[in-house]
Amino acid sequence: MTLSTTSAREETVEVGETRLQLLRGGSGRPALVLHGIEGPEGWLEFHDRLSREHEVLAPAHPGFGESPRPAWMESISHQALFYEWFLRVAGIDKVDLVGFGIGGWIAAEMAAMNSDNLAHLVLVDAAGIKPQTGETLDVFIRRWREVVEACVHDPEGAAEYQRIYGAAPIQDYGGTREAGRSMAMRMCYRPYMYSPALPALLAGVRAPALIVWGAEDRIIPVECGRLYQAAMPGSRLEVMPDCGHWPHYEKPAELAEIVGRFLKA
């Protein structure tokens, strides 16, 4: 079950003409946590554990959840620029940046643009780099239920996953998650789930960087974690055994310990 040691509050932050919806909880150095293709699923156990020593900010990306998409936003790079803008509006000079899936891709683009404002960078099963031998699963031709089920290695043993997705049938099309699915297609379809320029640009990242990957990721192969590590000098890769694409749903306590330990370094 999700912990309840920290109460998160909902906020709206005006970034230009966009009303960014976010959850905020805890205290300490800010940690901006960017969700993946699944969209915002509330205050998670991972957020809660991380908020014991950090002020966690968990926004819904523009185009997902209750955050509207500005008309100009068409790409992951646009999302990255938007969040750099958000950090200025929020008055955050140094931030721990944590991204999952396409949120990891956004985080990587942010780091490539400007790593001077990053205390640490954490990428978890991040999109953004094209595998050289394997392939990234095409999530856009599958029913949403099939995508969700493919994101975990052991769904029956994942309490957080069951709390969110097991209580009610997953709607294949439409519903509250459809806007985010459409936004992901807009940003990630061509080229599919990667940026040709990103590996070269990551060479300029100077913030301490940790890459975390589920060993049994069926969405984005662990090969991409190694490619991220090779692209960023001094970065470290940690592979979680018996874990799929969503460590934050499958092993949130273990992931929070790995990330928390790194953020203290």
| Collapsed DSSP state (helix, strand, coil) of residue 61 | coil
User: pLDDT confidence of 172, banded at 50, 70, 90?
Assistant: confident
* Residue 170, pLDDT above cutoff 90: no
How far apart are the C-alpha atoms of 88 and 103, rounded to whole Å? 19
**pLDDT on residue 101:** 98
* pLDDT on residue 224: 98
Q: Tell me the C-alpha distance between 61 and 40, whole Å.
A: 8
Which stretches does DSSP call E strand in 108-219? 118-124, 209-214
Check pLDDT > 70 for residue 4.
no
User: In this prediction, what percent of the chain has a pLDDT beyond 90?
Assistant: 91
- Cite the DSSP H helix spans in 51-141: 76-90, 102-113
The verdict on whether omega for the bond into residue 62 sits within 30 degrees of 0, i.e. cis, is no
The ranges assigned to domains in the chain are: 9-264
Mean pLDDT on 189-193: 95
Name, in order, each residue with C-beta under 8 angstroms of 9's C-beta and a sequence gap of 6 or more.
23, 24, 25
Q: Please write the tens of the pLDDT for every residue from 33-44.
A: 999 999 999 999
- Answer whether residue 50 shows pLDDT above 50: yes
Which pLDDT belongs to residue 1? Answer: 36
Tell which CATH architecture fits domain 9-264: 3-Layer(aba) Sandwich (3.40)
Across 244-257, average pLDDT = 98
pLDDT digits (tens, 9 = 90+) for 219-241: 999 999 999 999 999 999 999 99
- 5 pLDDT higher than 60: no
pLDDT in tens, 100-146: 999 999 999 999 999 999 999 999 999 999 999 999 999 999 999 99
Per-residue pLDDT at 2: 40
Q: What is the pLDDT of residue 214?
A: 98
- State the pLDDT at residue 6: 62
